[in-house]
Amino acid sequence: MDSSNGSGQVADHEGASLGEQLSTIIDHLPEDKLSLGELLDVFGDEGLLLLTMLLTLVFLIPVSIPGVSTVFGAAILLVGISRVRGRPLWLPARLRNRALPAAKLRPALTRGLEWVRRLEKVSHPHRLSALARGRGTELFNNLAFILAALLLMAPFGFIPFSNTIPGIALLFYAIGMIQRDGGAIMLGHLANIATIVYFSVLIGGGGVAVHQLFQRVTG
């Protein structure tokens, strides 16, 4: 599943850069509504990492689209699970058929493409390949991918950067796995660590605030 080429529009643009492939797909999104199942049909099982990149884009900019975080986060999580199991992606009917606001998604996805173009410039195929190849290494990387998806789904969406940092991790993982770039995968691991540290600070700070408030109320 490490190819960036799936079916439909993805297969039709073999040889184009990742950013160009995603840009073409975004340009062809329906004007009003689409579903996750329709996106999956475009990418196919061989394009799941490219699909992950597309789903991640909306979390890389300071914009909130109701309902998207849960749907996209769950889909990315299932992509990671399918990679660990080595089986085709399975989506529950409720998730597959969930209507998404295409008109609101398109501008967010287009703005998020800037991240893909930037990361492509620092990614090099087959760099530090030892970090991208091997059964044990791939299992570790896929589990880290799943962790990033879980961090993306954490209930901190209202806090700045809480979706952005794990979104960047997933983007690095997807690019690194597609291009067998161990350097990009390592940056994904670092972004995962940064997310855990950031969430720990948020939770710790929240705990201190609650404790101080309780002392004031009871004092």
pLDDT at 193: 97
Rounded to 5 degrees, φ, ψ at 141 are: -65, -40
User: Which two three-digit tokens encode residue 203?
Assistant: 């939770």
Kindly report, residue by residue over 8-50, the tens digit of the pLDDT: 455 445 567 888 888 888 888 887 778 888 888 888 777 899 8
Kindly report, residue by residue over 112-161, the tens digit of the pLDDT: 888 888 888 778 888 998 898 899 999 999 999 999 999 988 876 667 77
- How do the domains of the chain map onto residue ranges? 11-218
pLDDT at 67: 59
DSSP 129-164: GGGT-SHHHHHHHHHHHHHHHHHHTSS-TTSTTTTH
Name the band, by pLDDT with cuts 50, 70 and 90, for residue 79.
very high
pLDDT at 122: 79
Sequence-distant (≥ 6) Cβ neighbours of residue 170 within 8 angstroms: 52, 56, 76, 145, 148, 149, 152, 188
Kindly tell me if the per-residue pLDDT of 1 is higher than 50: no
From residue 167, alpha-carbon distances to 73, 174, 218 in Å are 10, 11, 41
Rounded to 5 degrees, φ, ψ at 88 are: -60, 150
Predicted TM-score of the model (pTM): 0.80
